[in-house]
Structure 1
Amino acid sequence: MSELRIALTITTLTSLSVGAGGSSGSRADKSVIRDGYGRPIIPGSQVKGKVRHAAEALLQGLGLPSQAHFDDDESPSNPIRQLFGSPQVRSPLRFTDLPAALGDILNPAENRQLLSELRPSVSINRRRGVAEDERLLFRETVPHSLVFSADDAITGYLKADDFPSVALLWAALRFCSRWGGATSRGLGWVNIEPQIFWQGEAQPLSNTVLSAALRQLPQQKGAH
């Protein structure tokens, strides 16, 4: 088995909303997710979901087999099941949270106002085309130019001949230009920089090598 490690850096180009329900101490109906140190994070679960969705779209565009549905265990083996797993197949990959790099901010919990802002919005009645009564909502966002990163964002072990699937992960990551919620309102645009480390090499693979490996994906059709 060959070791895979993907280092990931995501820089926000617009404000970003990666949140859950409102939390104590906040007026937001949807608060930014934070780790135990108070740093905003992009959860590993979202990284996995975004990359899987992008990989499925790329395979569909190439006319290659994919999962018939999320829990598909019946169709022939395919790169999505090999990488992300299914109810009967364990994923060989681990996805970690991406914390924000905060520089000189020593105590994120006490400097929450420097790391986020509240954005108001209203619910629109689709039939009447007007704002709903008593539906003023507040969404907490992090500012643009904030950097989220992890040296071990995605790790795991794959077969050596699954290298084209590694290239698929790389391409899918580059395809993910919008993250979080309210992207239709201009939030969540990012610049993403994945670095792929394969088989214990100290230097990341070049885009040229990964592009060549991606072109080998059609040759894997039905190989597993």
Structure 2
Amino acid sequence: MPRLEIDITVTSISALSVGAGGSAGSLADKSIVRDGWGRPIIPGSQLKGKLRHAAERLLNSVGQPVPNGFDDPQTNSLIHTLFGAGGGDRAPLRFRDLVCVRTKGIKAEHLSQIRPSVSINRRRGTAEDARLFFQEAAHEDLVYRAAPAIAGELEQLGHAALLWGALRFTERWGGGGSRGLGWMESTITLRWDGTEQNETQLESALRTVLNQKGEA
């Protein structure tokens, strides 16, 4: 079966907040995820989740079936082929962390800032009482990379092209989108069975797979 490898480089246009779910060792109520060297990262789990969501939107836009949630093994969908399904049906691909590789000469511990925020009442459009919190965010203009970020085996180039399209469709990462966080630019290199594919080849393969009806 052909081997797929995708190198991904993303550059942050605005500050990025990929939360670790806690605030250990920080003044922030929500800290960012870092690797063992203290560098900010975009976890492979977020990469996989973002691409799955974008791929579902692409398939849904052309009337192709998408699963009803993560544990829906009954729906015959290309999403299961790429990302796996419940019941032990594992994904054929591995998704690696994107690690901050360009730090502008700043030490790892100084690559983020604490940003104050307030919760907004959606009905009234005003700040909630006693809802001030502090969110850590990595600085803008940092570069995150993994090579390869995605690797595994797939049967068809069109399946790989759907991942490529989903990546191009994804511009926001992490949390705090309503506060302007998480805008990113991506550079993608895709190798199919050892051969780098250009945009023309990938666009053609993507059109082919999107024109299929209900075929996983």
| Alpha-carbon distance, 1:169 to partner | 0.4
**1:24 equivalenced with 2:24 (yes/no):** yes
Query: Could you say which residue in structure 2 is the equivalent of 1:138?
Result: 134
Q: State the Cα RMSD in Å.
A: 1.9
1:153 counterpart residue number: 149
> Partners in 2 of 1:214 and 1:127 — Cα distance?
41
Match of 1:180 in 2: 174
Contact 2:83 2:92 in 1 (8 A): yes
* Paired residues of 2:59 and 2:210 also in contact (CA < 8 A): no
Question: What whole-Å deviation, never above 9, does each CA across 1:9-51 have from its counterpart, x for those lacking one?
Answer: 0100111111123433310011110011111000000000000
Secondary structure of the residue aligned to 1:216 is helix
1:65-84 counterparts in 2 under 5 A? 65-76=65-76, 78-84=77-83
Distance 2:42 2:167 in 1: 14
What is the aligned partner in structure 2 of residue 8 from structure 1? 8
Question: Which secondary structure does the structure 2 equivalent of 1:137 belong to?
Answer: strand
Alpha-carbon distance between aligned partners in 1 of 2:125 and 2:57, rounded to the nearest angstrom? 33
Secondary structure of 1:5's counterpart equals strand
Cross-structure match for 2:44: 44
Matching residue's letter, 1:177: E
**Alpha-carbon distance in structure 1 between the residues aligned to 2:93 and 2:131:** 41
Residue in 1 aligned with 2:185?
A: 191
Question: In structure 2, what residue type is equivalent to 1:84?
Answer: F
Superposition deviation, residue 223 in structure 1: 4.5
SS in 2 for 1:31: coil
Measure, in 2, the Cα distance between the counterparts of 1:223 and 1:66: 11
Q: Structure 2 regions of 5+ residues with no counterpart?
A: none
**TM-score of the pair, normalised by structure 1:** 0.89
The structure-2 alpha-carbon separation of the partners of 1:124 and 1:212, relative to structure 1 and needing over 3 Å to count, comes to closer
Q: 2-side partners of 1:223 and 1:131: how far apart?
A: 48
Distance 1:69 1:188 in 2: 25
2:158 corresponds to 1:164: yes
Q: Which runs of 5+ in 1 are unaligned?
A: none
AA partner of residue 96 (structure 2): T
In the alignment of these two chains, the number of paired residues is 215
1:127, distance to aligned residue in structure 2 (A):
5.5
